[in-house]
Amino acid sequence: MYRLNELSVVISGAGQGIQAVEQLLSGTVKDSSLYVFATKEYVSRVRGGNNSTSLRISCTAVYANIDRIDLLLVLNENAIQRHRWRMTPSTVVLGEERFVRDEPNRVVVGFSKIAEGFDNRIYANSVATGVLANIQEQLAASRDNKTCIAYRWLEIRSEV
């Protein structure tokens, strides 16, 4: 069930710079006069762990994380399995084809391929940041129009 004034975003990977993506996105959210609550999860990567960061974006102040994921940004093959329990039928999964191919609400973005255009796949997280910033910009416009964030998310998610 959506709370009509918030959006839950999870960025998940291991060694792909997810904290950089979270910091940039959090900054743009705050600059848009929206509220954000961010949490980080660090798992032992030696054992094949998968790190993640969660952002709860809202029109009103928020003081805790929530379990539901509205948008899951996948940066490696273990991310979906790790967060499956938090996903709902309406969760949108954004990532490379090889990571999201079996998801019903997938948005395929070739982060690595686009980054190769800048001569280095290491910039894939920067490409992901750009995609998320575009989504955030569209959501921020909903703040000006007094439209609830989640309602606006339902409108734009097919355009992502």
Q: What is the pTM of this model?
A: 0.79
The total of structural domains in the chain comes to 1
Q: Is residue 73 included in any domain, yes or no?
A: no
What's the pLDDT band for 139 if we cut at 50, 70, 90? low
Does residue 1 fall inside a structural domain? no
Whole-number Å distance between alpha carbons of 146 and 133: 20
User: At 1, is the pLDDT very low, low, confident or very high (cuts 50, 70, 90)?
Assistant: very low
Token pair 């009509």 in the structure block, residue: 4
The DSSP bridge pattern shows strands 69-74 and 6-13 to be parallel
User: Which has the closest alpha carbon to 37: 49, 22, 50?
Assistant: 22
Q: What is the predicted pLDDT for the residue at 142?
A: 53
Domain that holds residue 85: 6-68+79-159
Q: HEC profile for 77-139?
A: CCHHHHHHHHEEEEEEEEECHHHHCCCCCEEECCHHHHHHCCCCHHHHHHHHHHHHHHHHHHH
pLDDT digits (tens, 9 = 90+) for 123-134: 787 787 778 777
Instruction: Read off the pLDDT of each residue in 89-95 and give the average, rounded to a whole number.
Output: 88
The reported pLDDT for the residue numbered 126 is: 79
Residue 144 has pLDDT above 60, yes or no: no
Task: Evaluate whether residue 89 is within a structural domain.
Answer: yes
